[in-house]
Structure 1
Amino acid sequence: MALWLPRSRDGGGRGPPAEDDEERAVPPAARQRLLEAQTYNQGIELVCQKEKEFVKHSVECTWNLAEAQQKLGSLALHNSESFDQECARAKTEAAEMRWREEEWRRKEEALNQREGQNPWNTDPVSKEVFNKSFINQKRKETEDEDLSESFMQKHEQKIRHFGMMSRWDDSQRFLSDHPYLVCEETSKYLMLWCFHLEAEQKRALMEQVAHQAVVMQFILGIAKSCNVDPRGCFRLFFQKAKTGEGYFEAFKSELEAFKTRVRIWSQSHSFQAILLEDPSVNPSLVGQLTSLSQNTGGLQDSINTNVCSLNSVIQRDEEESKMMDTV
């Protein structure tokens, strides 16, 4: 069952253009529904990318803050002449991490407000059609997407196997045997899988896969902070998570936040309509969502309403408590 996102039905601008007589043969209503379906495909890509970027930055800030707090705590156990200087420096680092996190969240809120005024504007080509650098950039993005989808297709079974693991030692051993899975594509696949499982009302399974999705994102975040290859630092994450109380609390907080966003977004009619409009996203959901087909006339209203809903989900995450059951 493929979970990677399909391209727009127009082929993303690639391939031979449709003939004029064929376009005229398509009824206006069907053409409008096709355009709306393409908007949905582009919209869900925007949603998933936004969620991934949000988790990535949040994980990085949380982990760096845990590092600073652990350093501050360890200094209290040592008595040295430079204790005061080291303690002051550690406090400064912790305060800087908090300030950076608050500053980023303020920027995120401002961005959400701007997006709410112009929801899911996915046609920048019309504004920069003659910009060669823009065209080259879009071509590179398309090539990167092809490579990403090819990777997920090739390693889908192993990614899903990793997503079903629950013990730290098993996950570390599996990544040691398959280090190429420590990458952005694995993180993306696991996050998409979480959305589909929640839509299928498989809550327990979604929470299990969410655990592994956040594990992968933490590993990538540590690699970015340390400026090293993710394949060489995943053992550091498991070591810290198993032995450092502050790190495990940071992990639990991010995990609960991610699961909350998945639950709320997947309950929206917009997400369910996306799956119905394009069955190739997850064919097993079509039968469960047939009853939504009568609501096709209100597709555009659903898009506008639920983009604002997504933004509110992200803002609400900033205020939620850091509580969850034992992972």
Structure 2
Amino acid sequence: MVDYSKWKDIEISDDEDDTHPNIDTPSLFRWRHQARLERMAEKEQEMIRLKKEKEEYENQVKKLKQKLGGGKGDSTDMEDVKNALLELERKGDTILKKQKDLEKKEKLEPWNVDTISADGFSKTIINKTGKGNEEELSDEEREKRMKEFVKKNEVNIKKYGMFRNFDDSRRFLMENPELACEDTANYLVIWCINLEMEEKHDLMSHVAHQTICMQFILELAKQLERDPRSCISAFFHRIQQAEAEYKKAFTDELEAFKDRVRKRAEQKLQDLMKEAEEEERQARLGPGGLDPLEVLETLPEELKACFESQNIDLLKTTIAKMSPEDAAYHMKRCVDSGLWVPEAKNAE
């Protein structure tokens, strides 16, 4: 059997057909609606005040417990701290009672036209996965589209990347639903790699958390075959209300992602070092295309000593002692690498 009882107490401004003929019925309905909105606003403010009061209480308790755990000060001070902690705990009971009363009051409050439903977005979204359009784009077109997207949204992407609280992330993405896309996820991945290369490990871990949230939203959209923007609220509701197994899957994926970022960053650093070394080597090449360092290391020891000491007389003596073939071979390599410049004085 379907329980219809929850529908019987819906509060509607114009739910009374009979009004006095001297009463302006539309004005009465508007007044009732306005009064209900004001009550709802007061309740919202009360919830905000209670939340702030609860946060202040938790901070005070934390500070007192730290002070008590430190054990510094005389016995009188410690006794004062204990008394203050007991007083705070009594205050906490009061706050908890207020919270339960508000939750009970909200649960028993009749539904109305303003609470039965609400807009998910301020714009219309057609549920299309966009896979077909994505597959039709060439690599150049994808790169161009991502550059345009990043240029337009980079500030907001970085703002999102700095959030950590699920509620704050959800609120920001609901206000900026265009960020729920592959381009944002790709930007965050690149950002994580760059942060790791800069040895900003803690910040990388922070942004990585947001990256996995975005990837989970995109994955959920693929599973449901829906636009990722319409899955923002669904993901955050799911992760916050999820069972331990789902949260473990999220944590495991986050740790695996950070490990992949570290490996990729290390590989990129090695590649950059190799490129720098190759550029340096190319800059050293002599007129014959040989590297002077490599040539110097492969010279016979007595010839190598001549170049290291820059002793021309010793070089002439050493060359004279060598066979003509060996002398010609090594001196040609020295010329091709720039270690020896023939007729250098004439060239000057």
TM norm. shorter chain > 0.5: no
For the pair shown, the structure with the greater C-alpha radius of gyration is: 2
Q: Which has the higher contact order (CA 8 A, sep 6+)?
A: 1
